[in-house]
Amino acid sequence: KSIGSGAFASIYEAEHIHLNVPFAIKILHPAFMNHEEVVTRFFREAQAASQLQHENVVFIADFDVEEDVGPYIVMEYLEGNTLKHLVAEEGALPLELVGEICRQICQVLTLAHRKGIVHRDLKPDNIFLVAREMGRILVKILDFGIASLGDDDHGLTMTGTAMGSANYMSPEQALGNIRDIDTRSDLYSCGIILGKCLTGTNVFKAESPTQILWKHIYDPAPTLASLYPEGRFS
């Protein structure tokens, strides 16, 4: 059954016919099957996650191209919800929870950056929270589709093209300076996510994504107290 859909792919829940355990299968939309760059990035997601082999990164079981289906990725099935959903429902999160989420994200970034992998699209949508016993949570980082694997992208992205999500994009990403994007870009995005979790609101606000990008580039970061005026950070 379908459990999600995005701009480039749909995700389905499936059960292994012999093991009787669930998996999630991500299938590229038919409209992009002959789009070389989209297909390449689709498989880069699987390659990057597979290189990390970390409990905080979604496990990739297989990826291939099926004649009647197209490109697909088989990954572990996760039960829980995204950080985006949690903040939308709860608003500002407890400090202890935010600290634990940030700690687990940074564990992945430490490993990824050591291997030359830069995610380049960290955002609450791509951070999945799995409930564990005794109220604990396990963070899973998703969607390495626009990650840099340290190979200069082989021309997959053109200078001057902004990649990522406007609310969480680093200034160099916003400018489209592809060659200037390194591990610091992920750390910037992580900081913006931290601000969103602590205050329940976006760090930069504007009427359009383009205006938000300009704020990332030119505006100083607002204080947490200005974003959450009820005294939590005074």
Q: How many CB atoms lie within 10 A of CB 160?
A: 9
Q: Is residue 170 within 8 Å of residue 184, measured between CB atoms?
A: yes
Taking the C-alpha atoms of 166, 60, 184 and 89 in order, what is their torsion angle to the nearest 10 degrees?
A: 50
Beta bridge pairs of residue 80: 130
User: How far is Cα 62 from Cα 53, in angstroms, rounded to an integer?
Assistant: 13
Q: Which of 79, 133, 207, 230 is catalytic?
A: 133
Residue 100 identity (one-letter amino acid): E
* Residue 133 annotated as catalytic: yes
Residue with tokens 């990035």: 41
Beta bridge pairs of residue 82: 128
Q: Is residue 57 within 8 Å of residue 108, measured between CB atoms?
A: yes
Active site residues: 133
